[in-house]
Amino acid sequence: MSKTKSTYKYDIEGHEPDPEQKRDADRLIRVCREHLDSLDEAMVRKAFTLCYLSHKGVKRASGEPYYYHPVAVAEIVASEITIDDVSVIASLLHDTVEDTKVTLDDIEVLFGEDVAHIIDGVTKISGVFKSRNTKQAETFMKLLLSMAEDIRVVLIKFADRLHNMRTIQHLPREKQLQIATETIELYAPLAHRFGLFNIKNELEDLCFKVIDPNSFKFISRKLREKKQDREAFIEEFMQPIRKELSDQGFEFEIKGRPKHIYSIFRKMQRQQKPFEEIYDLFAIRIILNDPHKKEDCWRVYSIITDWYTPIPKRFRDFISVPKANGYQSLHTTVITKQGRKVEVQIRTHKMDEIAEKGLAAHWKYKENKEGSETLDKFVTWVRDVLDNPRPDAATEFVKDFQLNLYQDEIYVFTPQGELRTLPQGATPIDFAFDIHSEIGERAIAAKVNGKMTPLREKLDIGDQVEIITGNKINLNPDWIDDVVTHKAKSRIRQFVKQKERQVADEGREIWEKKAKKNNIEISEQELTKVIQKLDYDSTKQLFYEIGKGSADVKELVRVVSEFKSKGRVEVDVPEETRPLTEKEIQETYINAARSISDDDALIINGELTNVKYSYANCCNPIPGDDVIGFISRIGDVKIHRSNCKNVRHLIQTDGERIVDVSWAKNIGSQFLGAVKVIGEDRVAMINDLTDVLSKSLKTNMKSINVNSDSGMFEGILTVFVDDIDHLDRIMEKLHKVEGVKSVFRYE
């Protein structure tokens, strides 16, 4: 960046702060003093003043002064991520270059090259977010690229997104859903991969609160109701351990935090169990104060297992073999004398800081060998996954990348004993690509623990893997379903694309020969118009179909000849498949919002409407569910539950079609709902269940599907309900039937 004279128009030195500004600046300085190792207070106050003056008069959606936002981001960076004062300064000014008259040259002259470089990175990322024509995937790739240059850029972006999520309630509902979906799909997984677990957990909960507010409130209430019982149990569990640790001279801290709300919800969904049957709702963490070493963690483990029985399959040693993000801890699950399972984590204070703050903590310890090596691994990893990404494969890149972010890890070894970390479910093919791209391309066989093993077989923890290679590329397109790492998937897709290009080139050659024979001359632009009428996305797609024999080149000759003679191609396009124009989408939205009817169930933008709508079969919304609308290509509105998996895809790909909808007060019709019942298999159980529905609740049942095994049964009852409260009453009554163990809404 070239150093030029500053052009800023703000009198920073002569500015006299008003009481509110002074109060906010003093608060930020106090936070920095408390959490940062070093602080240039004068420079932070100078940045605060420029932030205040440059954003003066601008308001946020909440109506608050805009400068509140960069100040809040700076406080997050100082207290929750804890980087350095340079990052605090950059946080205060992160929106100035994009939104005000302040230039990067101004920043460099006033605050130095480091601050200017960080703000430049944050600005470039933010600029991409505002482009409606730029796909989210490309934004995500850009975010990773900036991290490879300076990790502080990404850490500030995390703080920026965290504050935006904390204040998201001030935005329109459809905008909230778009931002929350993007955050839970991209930012939360990336925070997980970078070890920023506090930020990742809060982002997930904030997104969950937006996407599925009813479930969020339900789990929050249940956690509050159980808080006293939970705290009493933790105290009882730790009492003998605390005494033993103190007697042996340990200095320690004990935390018994409940697991965050979204993780509990995911566990309920994954296990198909109600809240009451999810027992590991919290983990007890024993943190040894420095200067305790990692060897002491094992001594603590020994004390715990002297008092409580460990479950061998639930033991994980992340101290000897840390996770890829540097996470270290001992994990064990033990059983109390009352038969209750308890997860215990044991770590030192430094390990805990790294576990809480991940990448930021490694940056703090970058002067140490361990911290420096971990940072180098992060940067190498980012550059590796971004190795020659193709613009046309951005969406595939993110899809693969997200899978790798959340997957558990396994540890395998090379024949020389070198440890390699791979996602769970990895095969020898993934291992080969992890070693080197050429090894993966030429792999023909594998030996696992000395035995010949199929390349597609999944690896286990501790396997020793040897790859046997040939002299030529041996890539198989079918491998795409057998690999889990981005590196392997990317190279296989690239290979498939190359093959497709070859076939497309052959198809083009066939066409050109046929065109020449029939004396047809047509420009590429005209040909593109023709193939669009034939419902092909591109000439490449058409030529590929011709090359592999799926399309008849004679038909193309006929259509092109017709186009050349008439100047058009007459192809019938069914009305329901015709894409809506932007104008039609807007008109549908406006008409839906303005149309009023007294007996409809759908409300758009706060008004009852008579627009045509229907309920999505994928999620079967019921009055009381949080819902959104999606304008279909024929102009009607499809109603989904806001937590429907399909909704996330729709928001990502067609966000402009989302409309804010809610239920009318008096609907007057019934809806299909389903509950799953698990219990003891006994005589007359089905009769008792159906009696509750028909006699006690006067509820009509559509179907019942029951399976029994080893004295237990599972039944799915599909019923007609008025609303979510009606469904809740049904579940409450069914739970009281003798022998019933659990009842919950069936997804």
Q: Mind giving me the DSSP string for 587-655?
A: HHHHHHHH---TT-SEEETTEE----EEE-TTT---BTB-EEEEE-TTS-EEEEETT-HHHHHHHHHHG
Backbone angles phi, psi at 703, to 5 degrees: -160, 160
Measured distance CA(637)–CA(614) in Å, rounded:
7
Q: Which one of the listed residues 11, 18, 98, 392 is annotated catalytic?
A: 98
Q: Mind giving me the DSSP string for 427-494?
A: -HHHHHHHH-HHHHHTEEEEEETTEEE-TTSPP-TT-BEEEEE-SS----GGGGGT--SHHHHHHHHH
Q: 617: how many CB neighbours lie within 10 A of its CB?
A: 8
Q: Which one of the listed residues 40, 99, 244, 636 is annotated catalytic?
A: 99
> Going by DSSP bridges, is the β-strand pair 282-288/252-258 parallel, antiparallel, or unpaired?
antiparallel
Buried b vs exposed e over 406-427: b needs ≥16 C-beta within 10 Å? Answer: eeebbbbbeeeeeebbbbebbb
Measured distance CA(217)–CA(223) in Å, rounded:
10
Q: Which of 520, 482, 477, 479 is nearest to 498 (CA)?
A: 477
Q: 720: how many CB neighbours lie within 10 A of its CB?
A: 15
The whole-angstrom distance between residue 22's C-alpha and the CA centroid of its chain comes to: 38
Measured distance CA(569)–CA(534) in Å, rounded:
9
Amino acid at 422: L
- Tokens 């605390």, located at residue: 242
Are 437 and 487 spatial neighbours (Cβ–Cβ below 8 Å)? Answer: yes
Q: 637: how many CB neighbours lie within 10 A of its CB?
A: 22
Find the angle CA(702)-CA(705)-CA(707) to the nearest 5 degrees: 165
Known catalytic residue at 204 = no
Known catalytic residue at 98 = yes
Catalytic residue positions, numbered: 98-99
